[in-house]
Amino acid sequence: MLVRLPDGSERELDDGSSAADLASAIGPRLAKDALIAVVDGEETDLGTKLHEGAEVAIVTPGSDRGLHTLRHSTAHVMAQAVLNLWPGATFAIGPAIENGFYYDFELPGGATFHDDDLATIDAEMRRIIGARQPFVRSELSAESALELMADHPYKQAIIRTVTGADSDAAAGNDLSSEVSGDVISFYRNTDDFVDMCVGPHVPHTGRLGHFALQRVSGAYWRGSEDQPMLQRIYGTAWDSKKALKEHLHRLEEAGKRDHRKLATELDLLSFPTELGGGLAVWHPKGAIVRKLMEDYSRQRHTDGGYEFVYTPHLANGKLFETSGHLDFYAEGMYPPMEMDNGEYYMKPMNCPMHCLIFGTGQRSYRDLPLRLFELGTVYRYERAGTLHGLLRIRGFTQDDSHIYCTNDQLLDEIGGLLHFVLSVLRAFGFDDFTFNLSTRDQSKSVGTAEAWDLATDALAEALRLHGLDYEVREGEAAFYGPKIDIDVRDAIGRTWQLSTIQADFNLPERFDLTYVDSDGERRRPIMLHRALFGSIERFFGLLVEHYAGNFPAWLAPVQVQVLPVADAHRGYAIDIVDRLGSAGFRAELLASSDPLGKRIRNAKMAKIPHVLVVGDDDVAAGTVGDNPRGGEVERGVEFSSFLDRLRAESRVSGE
């Protein structure tokens, strides 16, 4: 028979040949590397028999598909190890995930995994790998499958779900890595161990081994809080020892950027225990960076035609009844304070108060679009287990804008917002964006179909006019209107959801907001919510990680430190500091009894953009020695040319 290879060539094989036979026919190296095959677009085991005219690709470890298979097969090995080590344990799902895999278990008697268990499991896995156990596929009817999995209730539940016997559970985890359709497939490694799985898998366990078990955690069955909590183990797996080591190294490097670690090292801010969970205090070094960010944001909003407002941190509960927050999000709000005229709450959002501002006095169509902006601090009662440094915090400041406009203005406003948001983000060194358009979920939303269509079309059209590709997320919109979410990619390739532009038909209705149109009719404005940084705190944390603490010159808490070589040069150094200060730069003297080398080291560890060393030569010639962050030392730089250099470097880029 004749099969076709990915490069378009064809190859003659004996009838009844398998994908493994094809790999052997192509070459011994490929035969050795082969993990699975892709036949007519479907991933399959190497043992699969080929047919005449099949399109066949052999998958090797280094590819994405190969790595995925290695990880998935490693998960099976871990399951076998755990079931061997904990008699009576049962297992649920064990998919490959980005960079690794996990498997969920339930241990007998409600036992839990402990960190120490990882080493034991690891050792057992290596024994299984050493045994070169084959992965043998078989297929059973649902009935036989249920019988085979008689001791494993979670596997049975999966079978019932995929065969439609239990439709209620269908909405839950993606079980596609386990089974599909009416025929249930299994992979058997030994007489004692068989796992239900669609596959494909590596030929035998000996192909695995470059893995590391990482952590234990709890995980709800089917991802739902009202289901039992299972015991999950995460691991990572690669195609070579080198790749594994590199991955672990990358994790370590990412750890060094951790904003919580850098915040301590650079004395930016802290989370004192006495303050309570999820609340931060900003130290002078962190506060100056924050102030620079906020000043920049304010300047851009001024230029962008926004009007600034301020609103209080507390409000009467009636306000949040009107806005609907108490109906929908009471659990996420701090509990009320009893006052003489009712219950007061910390505000979880600024929009109700901005609506009050719109609602005072009569608005004309001539007033629109009305763009209100506030750096508004809000408080949300995040559940204890969800707090995470600055990235998930209970008190934070939104750079919150609410724009009230007419239907006719909607497209222009959204277009303007997109341009504005991207321009500001570029100033902070982000230039890789992805866009998501979330659309209506019919089952839970307010407003007319007409209004939704109008707003959804306007959001999509604005993206198109800007030439921005986007993905549609069906049914992901908030109940009150569709939205665009903007994700950014940081310096080490991680993506963060950042800005959002949301249309809202709900609040103008609830607050009965109107404007008088040109024909004298009262009409309801559309409201756009726009968060750019989202939360100043979270954005700051993200920036710390993005820059790895090396704030660009315009944001650095201290831009220049001046180091006199000896006490004799102290006067000159102070003069340099003063001249820099007069020119609007943040400069400090670093004179102490420490030797120069030590002071340079301290300045470098503080990630100062420019370390200036001044000695006899400089005093005589009016120069400085510039030791720039990440660059080469340059002696004898004219002060004026250093100033030009610093000015150029301190300009905000990307506008």
Distance CA 635, CA 628 (A): 11
Single out the residue of 361, 385, 493, 520 in contact with RNA (rule: CB under 7 A).
385
Query: Is the separation of the CB atoms in 395 and 377 below 8 Å?
Result: yes
Catalytically active residues are 351, 380, 398, 400, 402, 483, 529
User: Does residue 383 belong to the site contacting RNA (CB under 7 A)?
Assistant: yes
Footprint of RNA on 573-612 (CB under 7 A):
593-598, 600-601, 604-605, 611
Single out the residue of 296, 329, 365, 554 in contact with RNA (rule: CB under 7 A).
329
Footprint of RNA on 14-33 (CB under 7 A):
none
User: Does residue 651 belong to the site contacting RNA (CB under 7 A)?
Assistant: no
In the bound complex, what is the minimum distance in angstroms from residue 358's beta carbon to RNA? 17
In the bound complex, what is the minimum distance in angstroms from residue 393's beta carbon to RNA? 8
**Encoding tokens for residue 13?**
């094989």
Single out the residue of 248, 387, 465, 589 in contact with RNA (rule: CB under 7 A).
387
User: Does residue 219 belong to the site contacting RNA (CB under 7 A)?
Assistant: yes
N-to-C CA span, the chain: 62
* Span interacting with RNA, options 151-159, 210-218, 335-343, 543-551, rule CB under 7 A: 210-218
In the bound complex, what is the minimum distance in angstroms from residue 444's beta carbon to RNA? 11
* Span interacting with RNA, options 75-83, 274-282, 431-439, 646-654, rule CB under 7 A: 274-282
Distance CA 92, CA 149 (A): 11
3-state secondary structure of 490: coil
User: Does residue 386 belong to the site contacting RNA (CB under 7 A)?
Assistant: yes
* Span interacting with RNA, options 58-66, 291-299, 519-527, 562-570, rule CB under 7 A: 562-570
Phi-psi region of 493 (alpha: psi -120 to 50; beta: other; left: phi over 0): left
H-only helix segments in 466-535: 506-510
- DSSP assignment of 372-424 equals EEEEEEEE----GGG-BTTTB-SEEEEEEEEEEE-GGGHHHHHHHHHHHHHHH
> Residue-wise over 591-612: b if at least 16 C-beta within 10 A, else e?
beeeeeeebbebbeebbbbbbb
Single out the residue of 18, 120, 264, 514 in contact with RNA (rule: CB under 7 A).
264
Among 548, 570, 554, 558, CA closest to 614: 570
**Which residues does residue 379 pair with via DSSP β-bridges, in sequence order?**
395
Kindly tell me which of 63 and 217 has the beta carbon lying closer to RNA: 217
In the bound complex, what is the minimum distance in angstroms from residue 2's beta carbon to RNA? 46
Single out the residue of 53, 88, 130, 223 in contact with RNA (rule: CB under 7 A).
223
User: Does residue 565 belong to the site contacting RNA (CB under 7 A)?
Assistant: yes
- Residue indicated by tokens 């948001």: 421
In the bound complex, what is the minimum distance in angstroms from residue 374's beta carbon to RNA? 15
Q: Cα angle vertex 357, ends 355, 360, to 5°?
A: 110
User: Does residue 322 belong to the site contacting RNA (CB under 7 A)?
Assistant: no
Single out the residue of 587, 614, 639, 646 in contact with RNA (rule: CB under 7 A).
614
Query: Is the separation of the CB atoms in 71 and 97 below 8 Å?
Result: yes
Query: Is the separation of the CB atoms in 381 and 395 below 8 Å?
Result: no
Footprint of RNA on 164-193 (CB under 7 A):
none
**Encoding tokens for residue 75?**
């998960």
User: Does residue 257 belong to the site contacting RNA (CB under 7 A)?
Assistant: no
* Span interacting with RNA, options 135-143, 283-291, 429-437, 627-635, rule CB under 7 A: 627-635
- Give the contact letters, 487-516, x = binds to RNA (CB under 7 A), - = no: ---------------x--------------
* Span interacting with RNA, options 3-11, 16-24, 298-306, 625-633, rule CB under 7 A: 625-633
Q: Cα angle vertex 347, ends 341, 351, to 5°?
A: 110
H-only helix segments in 519-569: 536-547
Single out the residue of 349, 370, 542, 553 in contact with RNA (rule: CB under 7 A).
349
User: Does residue 224 belong to the site contacting RNA (CB under 7 A)?
Assistant: yes
Kindly tell me which of 154 and 186 has the beta carbon lying closer to RNA: 154
Single out the residue of 150, 171, 384, 648 in contact with RNA (rule: CB under 7 A).
384
Footprint of RNA on 96-135 (CB under 7 A):
112-115
Kindly tell me which of 279 and 309 has the beta carbon lying closer to RNA: 279
Single out the residue of 131, 183, 566, 583 in contact with RNA (rule: CB under 7 A).
566
Query: Is the separation of the CB atoms in 404 and 525 below 8 Å?
Result: yes
For CA atoms 561, 562, 565, 570, give the dihedral sign. negative
User: Does residue 216 belong to the site contacting RNA (CB under 7 A)?
Assistant: yes
Kindly tell me which of 8 and 272 has the beta carbon lying closer to RNA: 272
User: Does residue 382 belong to the site contacting RNA (CB under 7 A)?
Assistant: yes
Neighbours of 132 (CB within 10 A): 12
Kindly tell me which of 219 and 403 has the beta carbon lying closer to RNA: 219
Can you give the C-alpha Rg of the chain in angstroms?
A: 31
Kindly tell me which of 219 and 544 has the beta carbon lying closer to RNA: 219
In the bound complex, what is the minimum distance in angstroms from residue 60's beta carbon to RNA? 29
Among 336, 340, 376, 337, CA closest to 356: 376
Q: What does the DSSP 8-state code read for residue 283?
A: -
In the bound complex, what is the minimum distance in angstroms from residue 445's beta carbon to RNA? 12
In the bound complex, what is the minimum distance in angstroms from residue 206's beta carbon to RNA? 30
Footprint of RNA on 290-319 (CB under 7 A):
none
User: Does residue 248 belong to the site contacting RNA (CB under 7 A)?
Assistant: no
Distance CA 93, CA 455 (A): 41
Query: What size, in residues, is the chain?
Result: 655
- Residues in contact with RNA, total (CB under 7 A)? 71
Footprint of RNA on 464-483 (CB under 7 A):
478
- DSSP assignment of 216-254 equals EEEEEGGG-TTSPEEEEEEEEE-SSHHHHHHHHHHHHHH
Among 563, 565, 595, CA closest to 577: 563
Among 460, 465, 461, CA closest to 436: 460
